[in-house]
Amino acid sequence: MIGAFGGLWFAAHSWSKNLQVLKVSVSGTNYIEQDEILDLIALPEGILFEDINLGEIQQRVERHPYVRTASVNRDFPSAVRVTVRERRPSALLVSSRMAIIDEENIVMPVRRGEVLRNLTIVSGSFRIPQPGDTLRHASVNRALQIIRATKETDEVVHHLFSEIRILDDGDLVAYTADNGVPVLIGENVNAQKLVGFKEFWLQEVAPIGSDQIQSIDLRFDGQIVTRWRAGR
């Protein structure tokens, strides 16, 4: 009996050692094409199942600037499963060149299509590091904090602004998505101030048209200072 069991174990072990990887599956991608991940994995044709290095594959996949984390597992008898967690684009940076930045201030290359949809622009004269590096810039950080605050307030507030520009002195000016009205932001931006601006825009501006406004100042607590165009 023991000999028979040992023979079966040896046969099964020998069989498993000769298994080849026949399939690599990729899940979790939204902005990344699956072929990009497969190119990074680059498993040789006919590689044996037991010869694959899961840690090495994970490192390759995580080199992609849009990948935050990746997990790699064996799916017996012949598949490798890769699950990707992508970085979430936060804003489109426009300076000496263009780039995308995620919620952890990691720079990513610009990709067309879905990635650019609904991204607020952060523009100005600042250095954009290479993809995969962290952008460290006080005024850019403030701009990203404002963008996060608009997202956390509600969708209407978030879509009121299309761009935040960093001036040479470090101050910030936001521009509305409708007609590009300049809005002076100030230091303390919170949900209460943003909700107040939304109500002002919907009740006072929208009925008459944003083309009647020259600028809006949100730097003062409890009030919104508006400069109307001549003739109003």
Instruction: Please give the average per-residue pLDDT across 22-34, as a whole number.
Output: 89
CA distance 60 to 52: 13
Answer whether 129's CB lies under 8 Å from 62's CB.
Answer: no
Last-in-domain residue among 55, 71, 86 = 86
Same domain, 216 and 167: yes
In DSSP notation, 90-112 reads: EEEEESSSEEEEETTSBEE----
Same domain, 146 and 186: yes
What total number of domains does the chain contain?
Answer: 2
Same domain, 79 and 95: no
Same domain, 96 and 81: no
Confidence of residue 67 (pLDDT cuts 50, 70, 90): very high
Instruction: Please give the average per-residue pLDDT across 147-159, as a whole number.
Output: 90
Q: Tell which wins on pLDDT, 81 or 76.
A: 81
Last-in-domain residue among 86, 121, 154 = 86
Q: What pLDDT, on a 0 to 100 scale, did the predictor assign at position 9?
A: 38
| Residue 143 neighbours by CB distance under 10 Å | 27
Residue 59 lies in domain: 2-86
In DSSP notation, 54-86 reads: HHHHHHHHTTSTTEEEEEEEEETTTEEEEEEEE
Query: Taking the CA atoms of the chain, what radius of gyration do you get in angstroms?
Result: 26
Same domain, 171 and 82: no
Which pTM value belongs to this model?
0.81
Confidence of residue 10 (pLDDT cuts 50, 70, 90): very low
Q: Tell which wins on pLDDT, 211 or 190.
A: 211
Confidence of residue 187 (pLDDT cuts 50, 70, 90): confident
Same domain, 111 and 130: yes
Share of the chain above pLDDT 90, in %: 50
Beta bridge partners of 162: none
Same domain, 82 and 114: no
- The pLDDT tens digits of the residues spanning 198-230 come to 999 999 898 888 888 999 998 888 888 999 886
Q: What pLDDT, on a 0 to 100 scale, did the predictor assign at position 5?
A: 47
CA distance 182 to 162: 11
Instruction: Report H helices in the chain.
Output: 2-17, 34-41, 54-61, 138-153, 155-160, 191-200
Q: Tell which wins on pLDDT, 20 or 202.
A: 202
Same domain, 221 and 130: yes
Q: What pLDDT, on a 0 to 100 scale, did the predictor assign at position 11?
A: 41
Last-in-domain residue among 67, 86, 105 = 86
